[in-house]
Structure formats: C-alpha cells, structure tokens
A and B are shown apart, each in its own frame.
Chain A
Amino acid sequence: MKGFLLSLQSEFFKSRKTLGFWAAIIMPVLICTLVFFGMYSNVPKLIKMPGLSGMLMWRLYSGGILNVMGFLLPFFIILVAYSINSVEHKADTWKTLFSLPISKWAVYAAKYFYTMLMILLCLVLFLLLTIATGNLLGMLKPELKLADFHMEWALTQVYTKLFLASLGILSIQFLLSLVWSDFLKPMGIGFVCTVAGMISVGLQWDYAYLVPYSHPMMALSSMGLRNQRGQKMKLEFFVDLFTKDLYVGLAVGVVVFIAGYYIVQKKSVK
C-alpha cells in the first residue's frame, strides 16, 4: 500500500509538467468559458424563445457544455492514457520503475489509478464550472431566469455516469499505450473505435452497449425528464445511472486492467 501511494505521488510529480495533466484542467476551463460567452452574447435572441424557463435555459446551457465534452471525452482519455505512459517510454524508464524496491503490481496500479484521477479531475472541474458559470450567467443576465431552477444533482449524476462510462475505454487505451511506445497505434485504434462507437449509438444499434467506446455518448443521452414526486405539474431531470452499458463498461475496465498487469509481466522490459 505504501509503495502504491509513493508511486501515485511520483506520478503527480512527473506529470505535473506534461500536456496530459494540463489538458485535464485547460479543457474544462476553455470549454465552459467558450459556452459561457457564446450564451452571454446570444441573450437577446434567447429571451425571445417561446416558453422560456429556467429549466429550459439550464438544459440549453449545460447541454452546450455536455455535448462538446461528451464528444471530446474519448479523445481526452486516449490522450491522457498515452501521456502518462509516454513519460516512461520517452525516458526509457520502465526498467527503472520495475527494478525499484516496490512491487510491480503497486507501480502498475498506481499508474492506472493516476490516469483515472486525471479523468476524475477533468470531470469534477467540468461539473463545478458548469454550475459556477451557469449561476454567474444567471446573475449577470437575470432575464434568462437561470436562478429559478436548479439541476446540480442531475448534473452530478450525469458527470458521475460519464466518469464510470469512461473506465472501459481507459483500461483499453491504457494497455495499448503501455504496450506500444508510439502515439499512432493507440491513437489510431482509439480513434477508429470512438468513431465506430459514435456511429453505433447514432444508428441505435441494439448491441451498442457492448462497445465501451460508445458509453460516453450513451451516458449523455441517459438524462431524461420526469414529473417530480408528488407534484404532477413540476418536472425534474433524472439520470438512469445503472444501465447495462455501465455494467459492461465496468466489467471491461476491471478485466482489461487485471489482464494488462499480466501482459506487462510477460512482456520483457526493454
């Protein structure tokens, strides 16, 4: 356990000057800022919308952010998984890592969990910034009625679901980036699979839930509207968190993570 925590700390120390780490921070800040300004400059048009309500505005605002990031999430995972592993490939440090007086399992697991933490960091930032910039917009432009409605809980659920939906892809991309030192192979495979996942969701293929790369998009479409309990005329957003695609994603994530360790063990350290 100590070895695991020390390795985790070392991962932070090594990655804090890399693009992968900063992408996890810059991406949410950039996207939320852009959507914020897009919405802000579009206020005159928006307030002319029929049936304008705080709920509709929140849906519009958070949807603007979610759609962009849902599309980018698989690519972000590909990038982070590559970035964390390429630090070692570039420096030729696998042999050093695996000859430390720390178990190989702890070294491998710490690397994986650190990559997972990067994705978590990115999504938590997205969540906080969506809520913060949404409320800021409501304060600056009260006519959008954003202050009338709250969807923090629904957003927390969507981002939680997105996080869980990314674990299948993460395990696969992590392994690909661990085995191959170049960017093109994991990137190429990840890109093709992501596009295939998007198409399978777009065409509503029956077995799309079996493709981990389609899970983030499926997670996005899992948010629906329903009547609030006991109040027939009041609607609320809800997220169907535990769906079969989520279980498939988690299962793939766990299996590939464990298999990855044995593949690394078998693979001679060059």
Chain B
Amino acid sequence: MVIETNNLTFNFGNQTVVKSLSLQVPEGSIYGFLGPNGAGKTTTIKLLLNLLQTQSGDIKIFGLDYQHHRTQILKQVGSLIEQPAIYGHLTGRENLINRAQLLQIPHSRVDEMLDLVKLTNAAGKKASNYSLGMKQRLGIALAMLSDPKLLMLDEPTNGLDPNGIIEIRELLVRLVSEHKKTVFISSHLLAEIEKMATHVGIINFGELLFQGEIKELQSISQPMVLIETSSTVDAANLLTKNAIEVIEVKNESILVAFKSKENTAQINNLLNQNGYPVYSIHKVQKDLEKLFLDITKAPAR
C-alpha cells in the first residue's frame, strides 16, 4: 500500500472532522477520494501530508511513518491542496525555478513541466495575471516537478474548463499507466472521478462510507425496472397491491426493483391486463451519481 491509515481521527476543538478513517491506497492506482464539501477531505489530505499533527490513529506512506521519516516521505510526494499556492508577484517560470532550487532539481525540468501543462507561452507572465485554469495547471506542474511517486491532488480540476479537465484526466491516467505513479485525488464530483479512478473512497461527516475498486461500487448499485405507462399513480398502487416493490413514481414513469426477467414480464402482463398501457419497460442500473448521493445523504450526526 502506498497510503495506509489506521483509525485516523482528528478533532477541531470538540468537533470531530475525521472519524477512525482507515484508507488503503494501493500502488499504481488512481484513488478517487469522494465526498461533499465539508466532508473532511481536505483535513484528511493535510493529515496525510503532515500539515496537521495526527491526534489518534496512524498514517503510513510507502510503509513509513512521519515521526521518523518525514523528509524521506515528502521527497516522494507531490501535492496540490485546494487553490494552487502560487506567488503572484513572480512569473510562472520563476515559481517553478524557486521550487526547483529548493528541491535541487535541474532547471531543465522546469521547461519540461511548462511544456507538459502547456504554459510555455505564458511562462514569462506574472502569475497573478493568470486565469484560474492557468493557475491550476501551474499548481499541477509544481506538484509534479520533483517527479514524485505519489501525487496528492485536492480538487485539481476546480475552475478548469471542460477541455482542461479532459487534459488533466488524460495526464493523470498516463502518469499511472506509463510511469507507475500513484494518484490520490479528491473531488466532490463523482462523474469526474468515475472516468479515471481505479479505486474509490467515499467520505461524509468524516467517516469512510465506502472503499474499494470502482467496479465494486458499480456492483452494489441495485438494478431496477423503468416502466412508462399512463396514470402512473394508480398503476403503482396496483403493483404495490401485488407485492411488487415500487421505488419511485413520476408523472410518466414508475421505477420498481428488478428481481428477474420473468418477474419483469409478469409486471408487464399485470399492467396490460388491468388496462394500463405499457409504452416501454426495461432494466436500468442506478447511476453512480445517484448512488453517491444516496451514500452521502445519510442524516447529519
């Protein structure tokens, strides 16, 4: 495991922000760390970077702990937390040179990074004049400058246009598949993570609600049958009377739990026989977005 936490708990005053979190991030994965705003994602990342002191539980990065191996760990980690940290009075290139000097990285790497995030033309411009997307890209370049084995990115696509989002996504996928990096990426948007993540952790109110491969998340999603018919409310009553579980009733359609193909045929028959015309009937998978909402919509505790 590249990141492993055990019962990690963190309180701000008397408010528990992270509750016995046990993360498992395998090597070579893109781990999507999902949760709504205020779920504890940034606090977790700050703990993982030793910016906040661990209060209870423990953190192991590359199997090492911060107490004895802080520098060794951080040498192999690149990070971007919330909005990118960029010196506005310096140019884009100067921002990278400053970091390269601090980390004793050859300056040739600076131009490589500028090229990678497509900022070569704007490299001489003061960073305070950059657009949000450009700042974000410079932030990603800063995170990747030292060629770290692990990238921790907190909402890295915030403020990027659709093109920019696709570019970052492709870049991250390439880093993992070609350069064997591990990426830990947080977001409040599942749709964004779904397209690249191999593993997912879902957090809300500081608690980890789901963790596993993205396939597992899809498999726990319950299949359903979507029926288009007339007078849906009456039709739904009829189905309920016949011991069929109705999940949702809308003006033009009804959602019921999927049991088997035969069961779906029976529902079709039942409706037709009772004078409810079936315009369409088919199996649907609950999409991940909805699943994510369900998982995170648990009442506040």
CB neighbours of B50 from chain A (8 A): 98-99
Say whether A93 faces chain B, with CB atoms less than 8 Å apart: yes
Within 8 A of A (CB), among B84-118: 85-90, 94, 97-98, 101-104
A18 to B72, CA, bound (A): 33
Do the beta carbons of A10 and B102 come within 8 Å of each other?
yes
Say whether B79 faces chain A, with CB atoms less than 8 Å apart: yes
A-B contact pairs, 13 of them (CB 8 A): A6-B101, A87-B87, A92-B83, A95-B51, A95-B81, A96-B142, A99-B77, A100-B103, A101-B71, A101-B75, A103-B70, A268-B12, A268-B46
CB neighbours of A13 from chain B (8 A): 94, 97-98, 101
CB neighbours of A265 from chain B (8 A): 53
Do the beta carbons of A269 and B52 come within 8 Å of each other?
yes
Do the beta carbons of A103 and B71 come within 8 Å of each other?
yes
Distance in Å: Cβ of B78 to nearest Cβ of chain A: 9
Say whether A90 faces chain B, with CB atoms less than 8 Å apart: yes
Do the beta carbons of A10 and B87 come within 8 Å of each other?
no
Q: With A10-B98, A98-B51, A101-B103 as given contacts, are A91 and B71 in contact (CB-CB < 8 Å)? A: no
Say whether B141 faces chain A, with CB atoms less than 8 Å apart: no
Distance in Å: Cβ of B100 to nearest Cβ of chain A: 10
A7 to B102, CA, bound (A): 6
A contacts with B, residue count (CB < 8 A): 24
Say whether A227 faces chain B, with CB atoms less than 8 Å apart: no
Say whether B74 faces chain A, with CB atoms less than 8 Å apart: yes
Say whether A228 faces chain B, with CB atoms less than 8 Å apart: no
CB neighbours of A92 from chain B (8 A): 82-83, 85
A95 to B53, CA, bound (A): 13
A96 to B49, CA, bound (A): 10
Do the beta carbons of B85 and A96 come within 8 Å of each other?
yes
Distance in Å: Cβ of A130 to nearest Cβ of chain B: 32
Do the beta carbons of A10 and B101 come within 8 Å of each other?
yes
Within 8 A of A (CB), among B22-77: 46, 49-53, 70-75, 77
A96 to B90, CA, bound (A): 16
Within 8 A of B (CB), among A246-270: 265, 268-269
CB neighbours of B98 from chain A (8 A): 10, 13-14
Interface string of B147-175 (1 = CB under 8 A from A): 00000000000000000000000000000
For A92, A95, A96, A100, the residue with the greatest tally of chain B CB atoms inside 10 Å of its CB is A96
What would 19 more interface pairs be, CB under 8 Å, given A95-B81, A103-B70?
A7-B102, A13-B101, A18-B89, A91-B88, A93-B85, A95-B85, A96-B142, A98-B50, A99-B49, A99-B77, A100-B103, A101-B72, A101-B73, A101-B103, A103-B71, A265-B53, A268-B52, A269-B46, A269-B51
CB neighbours of B51 from chain A (8 A): 95, 98-99, 268-269
CB neighbours of B104 from chain A (8 A): 6
B contacts with A, residue count (CB < 8 A): 32
CB neighbours of A96 from chain B (8 A): 79, 81, 85, 142
The 7 A-B pairs at the shortest CB distance, nearest first, are namely A101-B74, A93-B85, A101-B75, A96-B85, A269-B51, A99-B49, A91-B87
A9 to B75, CA, bound (A): 19
Question: Interface of A with B (CB < 8 Å)?
Answer: 6-7, 9-10, 13-14, 17-18, 87, 90-93, 95-96, 98-103, 265, 268-269
Q: With A9-B101, A10-B101, A101-B103 as given contacts, are A95 and B46 in contact (CB-CB < 8 Å)? A: yes
Question: Interface of B with A (CB < 8 Å)?
Answer: 12, 46, 49-53, 70-75, 77, 79, 81-83, 85-90, 94, 97-98, 101-104, 142
A96 to B52, CA, bound (A): 13
Do the beta carbons of A90 and B88 come within 8 Å of each other?
yes
A9 to B100, CA, bound (A): 12
Distance in Å: Cβ of B45 to nearest Cβ of chain A: 10
Find the A residue at minimum CB distance from B81.
Answer: A95
CB neighbours of A101 from chain B (8 A): 70-75, 103
CB neighbours of A87 from chain B (8 A): 87, 89
Find the A residue at minimum CB distance from B86.
Answer: A91
Distance in Å: Cβ of B42 to nearest Cβ of chain A: 10
For A10, A14, A95, A269, the residue with the greatest tally of chain B CB atoms inside 10 Å of its CB is A95
CB neighbours of B97 from chain A (8 A): 13
CB neighbours of A95 from chain B (8 A): 46, 49, 51, 81, 85
Find the A residue at minimum CB distance from B139.
Answer: A96
Q: With A103-B70, A103-B71, A269-B46 as given contacts, are A91 and B85 in contact (CB-CB < 8 Å)? A: yes
Distance in Å: Cβ of A230 to nearest Cβ of chain B: 55
Distance in Å: Cβ of B44 to nearest Cβ of chain A: 13
Find the B residue at minimum CB distance from A2.
Answer: B104
A10 to B94, CA, bound (A): 11
Q: With A102-B71, A269-B46 as given contacts, are A14 and B90 in contact (CB-CB < 8 Å)? A: yes
CB neighbours of B142 from chain A (8 A): 96
Question: Which residue of A91, A100, A268 contacts B102 across the interface (Cβ within 8 Å)?
Answer: A100
Do the beta carbons of B90 and A17 come within 8 Å of each other?
yes
